[in-house]
Amino acid sequence: MIPTSFPPREEIARLTARMLLEIQAVHFRPHEPFTLASGLPSPTYIDCRKLISYPRIRSTLMDFLTVTLLRDAGFEAFDNVAGGETAGIPFAAMMAERLALPMTYVRKKPKGYGRNARIEGVMTEGQRVLLVEDLTTDGGSKLSFVDAIRDTGATCAHTAVIFYYGIFPETIGRLQAHGVTLHHLCTWWDVLAEARASDAFDAGTLAEVECFLSNPRDWQDARKPADPAAGL
């Protein structure tokens, strides 16, 4: 069912952050940083995959994402909803249901047998495809999915995520240069504000997280593992 209520953006961001904190999808660990896929350290980690296990929260967030798209992209802007493998698939299915559209998904790479396809489901030339994922950091992984969609002859000018890091200034420009507009519900700044309001973490932890969010590259450079070859 298509939602008909359009809460203010600020309220959507605050409530999304509150939900992520409530289910402990947010992790702050400045003194024992997480290691990201890039190999760089981070005092923050978010697990949006947990959302699928909370029916009331996942339903509300999908309503929020739907009204955000209707407001920002248009009511008749899409013909197909594609999820990025793997985290984006359940959210794409829920979005497709709300928008009354076909659903497909995009593999990270061809599966290597059978049709050797990257697109699963039916996607046809000329369709306007919305790419759905759980989150984005710097936008890089989205471009491969977008290219796979465009290789079918379909178009893809929009991607929607629940969570956008919002701390790497090059992200929006990178996506826009590829002809893609990003839609999201909340960022690390929204989570930090809600964490402070709810006393979810101690003041020292929040101060260190803010230091990272304000200048993530410098924070990472100061703490990244030493190169073993450097001393040779």
| 86 annotated to a ligand binding site | no
| 134 annotated to a ligand binding site | yes
CB 143 within 8 A of CB 115: no
| 104 annotated to a ligand binding site | no
| 137 annotated to a ligand binding site | yes
- Cα dist. 59→55, 56, 86, 181, 188 in Å? 6, 5, 19, 24, 21
| 135 annotated to a ligand binding site | yes
Three-state DSSP class for residue 34: strand
- Cα dist. 70→73, 134, 146, 188, 205 in Å? 6, 18, 20, 24, 37
* Ramachandran sector of residue 11 (left: φ over 0; alpha: ψ -120 to 50; beta: rest): alpha
> What is the Cα 82 distance to its own chain's centre?
14
**DSSP for 148-194, written as a single string:** HHHTTT-EEEEEEEEEE----THHHHHHHHTT-EEEEEE-HHHHHHH
| 108 annotated to a ligand binding site | yes
| 50 annotated to a ligand binding site | no
| 196 annotated to a ligand binding site | no
| 142 annotated to a ligand binding site | no
| 32 annotated to a ligand binding site | no
| 138 annotated to a ligand binding site | yes
| 107 annotated to a ligand binding site | yes
Which amino acids are annotated as binding site, given as ranges?
Answer: 107-108, 111, 133-141
Binding site for orotate: what residues are annotated?
Answer: 137
Task: Could you list the residues known to form a binding site for 5-phospho-alpha-D-ribose 1-diphosphate, using ranges.
Answer: 107-108, 111, 133-141
